[in-house]
Amino acid sequence: MKKYLPSNFESHWIKIWESEKVYKTTHSKNKEKKYILDMFPYPSGAGLHVGHPRGYTATDILSRYYRLNGYNVLHPMGWDAFGLPAENAAIKAKTNPKKIVPENIENFKRQMKMLGFSYDWDREFSTTDTTYFKWTQWLFIQFFKMGLLYKKNTPINYCSSCKTGLAEEEVLPDGSHERCGKPIVKKELPQWIFRITKYADELLQSLEGLEWPRGILEMQRNWIGKKEGVNIDYMIKGHKDVVTCFTTRPETNFGATFVVVAPEHEIVQKILDGKEYRLQIGEETVSKIREYVAQSQSKKTREREMENKVKTGVNTNLTVVNKLNNKEIPLYISDFVLSGFGTGAVVGVPAHDTRDYDFALSFNLPVVSVVVGNAATELPTKNTSSVYEGEGIMVNSEFLNGLSTQEAKKQIISYLVEKGWGESKTSYHLRDWIFSRQRYWGEPIPIIFCKTCHKNKVSYFETIKNSDDSDKISDFRQEVKDDLYGYFPLSEKELPLDLPDVNNYEPLESGKSPLAGMPTFVNTVCPHCKGAAERETDTMPNWAGSCWYFLYFARNEEEGAKKQADLDMKSYWEQSLRRDFDKFMPVDWYMGGAEHAVLHLLYARFFMHAMYDINLVSHQEPFFRLRNVGMILAEDNRKMSKSLGNVINPDDVVREYGADALRLYEMFMAPFSQEITWSTRTLQGTYRFLKRIYNLSVAYENYENEVDYTIGEYSMLSNKLAQTIQKVAGDIVEIKFNTAVASMMEFLNLWEEVAKKNKFALSKDDLSSFLRILSPFAPFMTEEIWRNVLKNKVSIHSGDWPIVESSKLQKQEIVLPIQINGKMRSTINVTVPSTQEEIQIKALTDPVVKKHIGERKIIKTIYVPSKIINFIV
């Protein structure tokens, strides 16, 4: 008898599937589509580790399942290959990333094929391909044209180890860089900035329709951080200046006892520079303020935030007027107020805000309570040593007294607005997206800067004015116009703007990208005045390529190629690409790690929303359904890493146990989204499972139909299969692969038992059905039996999902549990359907039941059909 040796046939089938084009994307008009996508990997030099295939196997199972069910399935794979790791590896190896990346990709691809993933490799591409990134650059230009980008000198998060600026999202809570773990400093550099905040509300709203894990949705909501409140104006006494404070609790305003501004607040400079101010407060105070501002600027952001409770600050000796009660309250400067949130100024209500309270304690400021707890028993207390931040009833607040906080809020807002002292305002935690990186290995930003045109205030937007532009876009342009005099995008014909070969990839000490050191790259001609001009030398962040790759997978190059040659980029997009996108977008199933909860998922959503607004795509949301794959830890319960030497390589596992066993194991171990610890032992269990099936199946080479499959245990086995088929189908689309595998194991256990009496206990048809439901999980072994034992000509993966006869799903006899007073006492075998009377009579003849009831009387009987019977005595 043949033995189960996966190495005997796995590599053979990889070649056959490839030559037969079994996994080619179809788009028949009479079929529905499913777009099933993995978060494409960064092709590192280390190759795949055993954690990668967990997510890839899941999407592979889904893809195969939907193919068998007759869908047009798009299941592509590509490479997110720009970014620091490749660049750093190249620097180390003294070579160009352009050389390293293709080698890494080859290795990744080999491993993925080895694992039997059914990607349509015709659609593969890398973000570093010029054919792809010319479009990324083209999109940048479209966004530039719509006024969604601006360039500005900004204090940014800068990693001095990686020598590049970073986005807010790339900074970890401890103030380190999420990639390299080194500390981040603030540095002022000219940066391209994406106005993602313009989409904050939209990005928040449209989370509603997405089938994403709740936690991820919550994290996106928190990151966008929408807060509704009121901006209230405070006039500085004796001066014309106004300090505007943002508050979400305007109803507590009668309890305001001070106002604090951030050291970066514009009023601070005014006070320091203004003669009248200096005269009023005296030079001593001026130097105190100056000292405090300098001090807090030298602190790293994180230091400022970590200090927490101990509040520092400085009194300006100025007062502002609370117009509500005409009280004068002091104006302070403190770095506990963040310049980036709200207005950078806060009104202090120490009785109802812990931070304000702490500040009041430090500076001996009065505390005025204006809210008391909701319960009528809680009367206003003089004891203000504790802060009350909850809802309640208003006191000490003139016309608000006696109202609930909610009602008071409504009234005070309309009062403030009516008087012109304040306005409703929404604030967001989301910051604009810093899009410049001072590194080599990224898409060059396709912009030219002309000093002459800058001086002459030539705006590119004036040259492209069009009456068709929407109000939204006109507004966008107007808002960035002043920051962009002299900046022009490249023309389509100049795309792609490729990366030149350079000798040194190290970023320059000036904080500029290595490209800045290449005059041949930098110097160019101004598209407007034809004078000398310079190219932008910063590159895009590594997120750029992943912001729209999912669209590009949907293109059909064979059909589009001819058109592409004849059309300009815009027309090609409109007439060819967009139609292809519409066939498959949005993504139906998106799989990847939860670590991308905000970064990639937010950026990609933003790109789509923006593209939708300039009519480049038909959907706003790229990923309809998202599922997270749990991490695989090494056997020592730590993250797998090269430096710890605990990495399990899939090549080794496949050599010993085969790809099918690895796939099955990773699906079986635990619920899909859960973190698991690698266990070779458990993998041996799934290997045994496959081996047992193989051993039972090979006998069918000499199959003879000598069994009546409609009777006894043979029909029971067939019914069990029908139930298993249904269970597996349901589990796959619910991403419950572990129980899907378990149910197939259950079936095998029964099959083996019956097969002891007859090796053909399972009909040939049923065997083929079982192989077909197993085939998404174990594509190699099922194909081997399908073709070499059952002698089928066409691949099992091109077939159909088995149809279940509903008659086989209905059980005829079940084991019914009997409870007495709610406690399980016995079981009886009953045929279904049966009436309650029949069951009751049978149940009461059961000796165990008789014994437990004894002399007692039955008061009540609860019977749940086919579930349980419960006697209350």
Interacting positions 200-239 with RNA (CB under 7 A): 214-215, 218-219, 222-223, 225, 227, 229
Query: Of 86 and 232, which has the nearer Cβ to RNA?
Result: 232
Least CB distance to RNA at residue 338 (A): 4
Decide: 783 and 13 in contact? Cβ < 8 Å: yes
Please, which of residues 163-182 interact with RNA by CB under 7 A? Answer: 173
Q: Which of 9, 23, 277, 336 binds RNA (CB under 7 A)?
A: 336
Restricting to residues 581-600, name those near RNA by CB under 7 A: 594, 597-598
Cβ proximity to RNA: between 145 and 596 the closer is 596
The DSSP bridge partners found for residue 243 are 234
Burial of 712-738, coded b for 16+ CB within 10 Å and e otherwise, reads eebeebbbbbbbbbbbbbebbeebbbb
Q: How far is the CB of 808 from RNA (least distance, A)?
A: 19
Tell me how far apart the alpha carbons of residues 785 and 81 are, in angstroms, rounded to a whole number: 39
**Both structure tokens of 673:** 């989204």
Site residues (CB under 7 A) for RNA, limited to 832-861? 848, 851, 860
Is residue 309 part of the contact set for RNA (CB under 7 A)? yes
Is residue 183 part of the contact set for RNA (CB under 7 A)? no
Residue from 745, 761, 767, 774 in contact with RNA (CB under 7 A)? 745
Q: Looking at 38, 120, 353, 443, which residue binds RNA (CB under 7 A)?
A: 353
Q: Site mask, RNA, residues 127-166, x = CB under 7 A?
A: ----------------------------------------
| Identity of the amino acid at 320 | V
CA–CA separation, 368 and 781 (whole Å): 76
> Which of 279, 824, 832, 841 forms a contact with RNA (CB under 7 A)?
824
Interacting residue with RNA among 89, 235, 338, 647 (CB under 7 A): 338
Q: Minimum distance from CB of 230 to RNA (Å)?
A: 8
Judged by CB, which is closer to RNA: 60, or 335?
A: 335
Longest Cα separation, the chain: 110
- The dihedral region occupied by 712, where left means phi > 0, alpha psi between -120 and 50, and beta the remainder, is left
| Minimum CB distance to RNA, residue 57 (Å) | 16
Considering the complex, state which of residue 34 and residue 600 has its C-beta at the smaller distance from RNA.
600
Minimum Å distance from CB 750 to RNA? 9
Q: Is the dihedral of CA 139, 143, 146, 151 positive or negative?
A: negative
Q: Give the 3-state secondary structure of residue 159.
A: strand
Contact residue for RNA among 674, 831, 835, 836 (CB under 7 A): 674
C-beta of 389: minimal distance to RNA in Å?
A: 9
The DSSP H or E segment spanning 626 is strand 626-628
Q: Which long-range contacts (CB under 8 A, 24 or more apart) does 835-841 make?
A: 836/861, 836/863, 836/869, 839/863, 839/869, 840/869
Across-strand partners of 639? 633
Query: Is residue 262 at the binding interface for RNA, with CB under 7 A as the rule?
Result: yes
Site string for RNA, 542-581 (x = CB under 7 A): ----------------------------------------
Does residue 337 interact with RNA by CB under 7 A? yes
Distance, CA of 217 to CA of 605 (rounded, Å): 13
Structure tokens at 6: 């996966």
Q: Which parts of 464-577 fold into alpha helices (H)? A: 471-480, 519-522, 549-552, 557-566, 569-572
> Residue 586, preceding bond cis, omega within 30 degrees?
yes
Under rule CB under 7 A, residue 463 binds RNA: no
Nearer to RNA, 75 or 852 (CB): 852
- Kindly determine how many residues on this chain lie close enough to bind RNA according to the rule CB under 7 A: 84
Q: Which stretch binds RNA (CB under 7 A): 108-116, 375-383, 604-612, 865-873?
A: 865-873
Name which position in 827, 834, 840, 853 contacts RNA (CB under 7 A).
Answer: 827
Q: Using the rule CB under 7 A, is 689 a contact of RNA?
A: yes
Stretch touching RNA by CB under 7 A, among 145-153, 274-282, 602-610, 687-695: 687-695
Provide the minimum distance between the beta carbon of 590 and RNA in the complex, in angstroms, as a whole number: 18
SS (H, E, C) 194-243: ECHHHHHHHHHHCCCCCECCHHHHHHHHHHHCCEEEEEEEEEECCCCCEE
538/731 with CB nearer RNA: 731
Name which of 734 and 765 has its Cβ closer to RNA.
734
Contact of 697 with 789, CB cutoff 8 Å: yes
For the bound state, the minimum distance from the C-beta of residue 162 to RNA, rounded and expressed in Å, comes to: 19
Range list of H helices, 225-353: 266-273, 275-281, 283-298, 301-306
What residue type is assigned to position 638 of the chain?
R
Q: Is 803 in the site for RNA (CB under 7 A)?
A: no
Nearest by Cα to 244 from 256, 255, 260: 260
- Say whether residue 752 binds RNA (CB under 7 A): yes
Least Cβ distance, residue 864 to RNA (angstroms): 4
Distance, CA of 284 to CA of 804 (rounded, Å)? 88
409: contact with RNA by CB under 7 A: no
- Long-range contacts, stretch 682-689, CB < 8 angstroms, 24+ apart: 683/653, 683/657, 684/657, 686/661, 686/741, 687/657, 687/658, 687/661, 689/664, 689/744, 689/745, 689/748
- The reply to whether omega before 833 is within 30° of 0 (cis) is yes
Stretch that binds RNA, among 31-39, 113-121, 342-350, 602-610 (CB under 7 A): 342-350
Q: Which stretch binds RNA (CB under 7 A): 243-251, 555-563, 575-583, 836-844?
A: 243-251
